[in-house]
Copies of this chain bind each other. A is one copy, B any other.
Amino acid sequence: MTAHVSLITLGVADVAAATAFYQALGFRLSKAASQPEVSFFQAGPLVLALWGREAQEHDAQAQALWTGNGGVAIAQNLASEQEVDAMMARAEALGATILRPAAKTFWGGYNGYFADSDSHLWEVAYNPFWTLNPDGSVDLPD
């Protein structure tokens, strides 16, 4: 097994509120795996978790490391420009902050960016050069 990513955890202020947001956005909550303190979603090929930011900082002893928010962008790739527009509209309707409306990109694709209420950065993208698998994953060439 080569090195890989299995799961990402977003530190949030209110787990219940963030869970409601991501469910409404279309993520599939695993009720069996979740608890009031932590939510787990099957996010296509990845597990997306929501956990209290302070609990997470304490668990990882990351208080000095986490100086604010930033440095990571999470991307959802979709199958067309229309799907990108629909997902951006859904996020905006749910209260997300639109950072950059969807538009053609310099690399020949189409994307937009939004932030959730905990300042996590999401990209919603259509990349015509990459093949998207049914579960939302992408297989890169060597």
Interface residues of A (CB under 8 A from B): 1-11, 22, 25-28, 30-33, 40-48, 53, 56-57, 59-62, 65-79, 87, 99-100, 113, 115, 118-121, 123, 125, 130, 132, 134-142
Contacts and interface: CB of A to CB of B under 8 A. Distances in A.
B45 A60 contact: no
A46 B141 contact: no
20 contacts: A1-B44, A1-B135, A3-B43, A4-B44, A5-B8, A6-B75, A7-B123, A10-B71, A33-B130, A42-B140, A44-B45, A45-B46, A46-B137, A47-B140, A66-B71, A69-B69, A70-B70, A71-B118, A71-B119, A72-B72
Number of copies: 2
A46 to B, nearest CB: 4
Contact of A73 (B3, B11, B27, B40): B11
Of listed A53, A72, A76, A87, residue having the most chain B CB within 10 A: A72
B100 A5 contact: no
A130 B49 CA distance: 14
Given A4-B44, A6-B137, 14 more contacts: A2-B27, A3-B87, A4-B137, A5-B75, A5-B136, A6-B125, A7-B77, A7-B138, A9-B72, A32-B140, A59-B100, A61-B100, A69-B71, A72-B120
A70 B68 contact: yes
Contacts of A28: 2-3, 142
